[in-house]
Structure 1
């Protein structure tokens, strides 16, 4: 499996040549038009604009409204055309020239042009997201020689670049004269170029999208409408699927222990595909800026107090794989041979805390930590309760500070927590996701864009991540990232609870649901319903 790499030899071989990929459209001859696809979005998103918010619920809905320059194939995560129909790469690997589709219009009827791409990637997205800010820092200049050409000149070779372009392109004409992109009125208008248009959002009830009749991919989308239902609890969501009110369940919509039962229903299928690009890993964040948690010995104690097999096999009902480092099993850069393994061992964990100077007091408490749970439903609440019990068993008192999604995000990005739950999309190239997650963040917060919310800082890691991001030779990149894994797994800046497996349940009348490496996070232009 490729993982976002552009081999040096390939860069030389294909330099200056036109790179064109063909969109996979599935069995178009048998695809039927019409119908409404009924989904669940859990929890209710903060925004439907993935240019503003990239948390899972926002991208799940918003990626149907906002198209991107590229998609990625399911088989090898190779880039495929979306708003960009073709591209070339210069011999030195520093200049990328994209030819854009003609005749694409925004949902308000305005034409899509290269100015929208330059504005989105050059100005708008870097204000909103740490990963986009990192990408923008790689770019020396963005040029738009005509309405359908955009040229990115990079400061240095950056092999991950083609894997960074699945981001939402937003309408530049809606932001003319705007200085504060974060609070612009256009952010709530949800105008994209994607296969579906925003129709209505009844808070706490339903989000409704309808077919974009002028979508650039002729004949698509096939669906008339997509309804995202907001259902308050997991049991009700399971009933909605059982009774046919909902056609698809994504992992997290229901309790994991319910998945085998629901998968056994008549005319129901299950798939674990569609995560090849995102590569999710479960985290217990540790705030390394807390003086207690800055001590590596304390972090080693915490990781050995947590039974990660219990988390996988009991809490997640077996939907997960063991992980001892920052890279997903789906990454071709994963190197388990260099990882330090900290086995579940509460006695050793307690001894490490003694060694670190944190002796238990008369009531058995060594110190107190605030845990901010991930507010994504009952499963995460139960994991939070388990973490409280597991750490309590070695004398660490845990106080659970439950907040909503917005509060959780603010707590993490301002380092206003001690430990916190999360799962993160590490993505198909370490020059994107790993760089983003472990490079030192300057200042007293990670900002509204996220980033390294652990506050971990290691100059050696910073230097290696910088080298890996700009090394064109894939063999050398592998050596660099093996060293990164060796250091991070030893330092345990956080607890990698598990390599997450996210199954999708769907009725067999739903066709071509997962056709790319983005799975259900993709735009659903090819999805159709069998009558």
Structure 2
């Protein structure tokens, strides 16, 4: 094992012979041998637009890429990071140098060898390909091959999420011979457990994969055939599961009742939170939102438990905080920070000088119309008018960034603390378009960035701040309703809408 100099701002990846045993996955026995004649069919919402690994997304959109591309690190169902193409890794004292050993016994499906040069080619390609997750490597300023089995990632600043990202889109490794070619857009070339059966695959209908011969980790290769059926329509997914066309798929509370009636099995997982993003906290366009008492009044206006039970059939947990339990930033005392208290909401509005009323303008989107109607009524009960505007457009991201919305009812991912902060709290966050901050908050954010393994604990202070200041009005963490039949065992993946492909196995 080779470790880089601790005084430079770099991350180093080194291949070594230790790779043969460190992951425990080099043997040819295990799950793959037991599943010699099995097939798995999954119902998914979208087809892959490009098989270039630099165009990979996250959540349910990451799953198909896992079939053909190994990642540098493997994220276990509980969120723990384990070896995959990398076998060991270590930060220096300042969390600016990450040293990682790579496997030396891996090849891509086109015969190319996985080594330091291949890792550099992928990381460089990811940074310049302008994919949907390109920000995952924002902190990396340069990638350099030191020798045949060592590359250096020069970091402009510490990034507590880097290891996590190397288990996600940024860590996917494709064949260096195929990168930047037209062919990889339609036919993936990776080192993963499966290879695409292009003759059996139909765009926007189904993608079929066969187990790759000689794959280095048979414990992760549990099926001989893997099929993704693209079923964007919720009813179509429900019918496909109940009729046996697919073995597992993502549903919702209402269709879940039909699945349960057909003896399907629920693997639930709280991945996102839903609620109001009170974006204009400086009152730039909506002066009322500048007053923390108004934002707090909005929080006190909602009977979260009743709304959850009536609209989402109880599938979730009421909450007053935007950080999830698995992030490490969750604080038990914040869970019911804003209990249902219409009288207190009215008193806060009066104290703030808005007794005559406050107006919130929010867009709508498919599937939340009935929920918004309930929220509109509860806000009206305390003197707040909810104006429901036009539906979100395909320009949504740019609309948010351009401060089109002063408030937004939305559903956000409860990710790792640094991921979540840069999604919704920091001045770089998409969901902080008005760039709201204070010196106190920025100091807390800076503490998270340099906290290393204690990032979750440090992020608790960020969580306390934004909850106390009512930056948001969270209502509940919602269950991802993932159903499967009795032919397959499924383990949910923390902070992910659908399980990673490694979490499925044939039922005994």
What is the CA distance between 1:214 and its match in structure 2? Answer: 5.5
1:524 aligns with 2:501: yes
Q: Distance in 2 between matches of 1:32 and 1:85?
A: 26
* CA contact 2:275–2:409 (8 Å) conserved in 1: yes
* Corresponding residue of 1:100: 102
Q: Alpha-carbon deviation of 1:88? A: 4.2
Offset at residue 260 of structure 1 (A):
5.0
In structure 1, C-alpha distance between the alignment counterparts of 2:353 and 2:186, rounded to whole Å: 51
Instruction: Give CA-to-partner distance per residue, 1:79-108, whole Å, 9 cap, x none.
Output: 211221333444665432222233544455
Q: Could you tell me which residue of structure 1 aligns to residue 277 of structure 2?
A: 285
Q: Secondary structure at the match of 1:461?
A: helix
Change (3 A) 1:495 1:209: farther
Are residue 79 (structure 1) and residue 67 (structure 2) matched? no
Shift of 1:524: 2.0
Q: Which residue of structure 2 lines up, in the alignment, with residue 11 of structure 1?
A: none
Cα displacement (A) at 1:149:
2.9
Contact 1:305 1:345 in 2 (8 A): yes
Distance 1:392 1:230 in 2: 41
Alignment gaps of 5+ in structure 1: 1-16, 179-183
How much has 1:23 moved relative to structure 2? 5.0
Note closer, same or farther for the CA distance 1:61–1:350 as it changes in structure 2 (3 Å cut): farther
Q: 77-86 vs 21-30, which deviates more?
A: 21-30
- TM-score w.r.t. length of structure 1: 0.74
Aligned Cα RMSD in Å? 4.1
Are 2:279 and 2:431, in contact at CA under 8 Å, matched by a contact in 1? no
Over 3 Å counting, the alpha-carbon distance change for 1:67 and 1:316 in structure 2 is farther
Question: In structure 2, what is the equivalent of residue 10 of structure 1?
Answer: none
Alpha-carbon contact 1:370-1:419 (below 8 Å) kept: yes
SS at 2:265 equivalent: strand
Q: 3-state SS of the aligned residue for 1:229? A: strand
SS of corresponding position for 1:98: strand
Q: Secondary structure at the match of 1:440?
A: coil
- Whether 1:399 aligns to 2:388 is yes
Counterpart CA distance in 2 for 1:368 and 1:323 is 21
Answer yes or no: is 1:382 the counterpart of 2:378. Answer: no
Question: Are 1:136 and 2:130 matched, yes or no?
Answer: no
Structure 2 residue 303 is the aligned partner of structure 1 residue 307: yes
Matched, 1:412 2:413: no
Secondary structure, in 3 states, of the residue corresponding to 1:487? helix
- TM-score, normalising length from structure 2? 0.77
Flag structure 2 segments of 5+ consecutive residues without an equivalent: 1-15
Which of residues 260, 264, 271 is equivalent to 1:263?
Answer: 260
Deviations 1:108-140 (A, max 9, x none): 554444344335445624875797636532x56
Match of 1:227 in 2: 227
C-alpha deviation, 1:407, in angstroms: 3.9
Deviations 1:400-438 (A, max 9, x none): 42246x44444334443343343333334x233334431
Once the two structures are superposed, residues 154-191 of structure 1 have per-residue CA deviations (whole angstroms, 9 ceiling, x without a partner) of 56765554333212225455555x9xxxxx99656544
- Counterparts of 1:407 and 1:201, CA distance in 2: 29
CA contact (8 A) 1:299 1:492 kept: yes
The offset of 1:452, in angstroms, is: 4.1
Question: 1:490 corresponds to which residue?
Answer: 468
Residue of structure 2 equivalent to 1:206 = 206
CA contact (8 A) 2:35 2:506 kept: yes
Cα distance between partner residues in 2 of 1:301 and 1:70: 44
- Judge conservation of contact 1:339–1:489 (CA < 8 Å) in 2: no
1:118 paired with 2:115, answer no
Higher RCO (CA < 8 A, seq sep 6+): 1
Q: What are the Cα deviations for residues 258-292 of structure 1, in whole angstroms up to 9, with x where unaligned?
A: 435533644x433336x7xxx53334333327521
2:191 to 182, 186, 193: 193
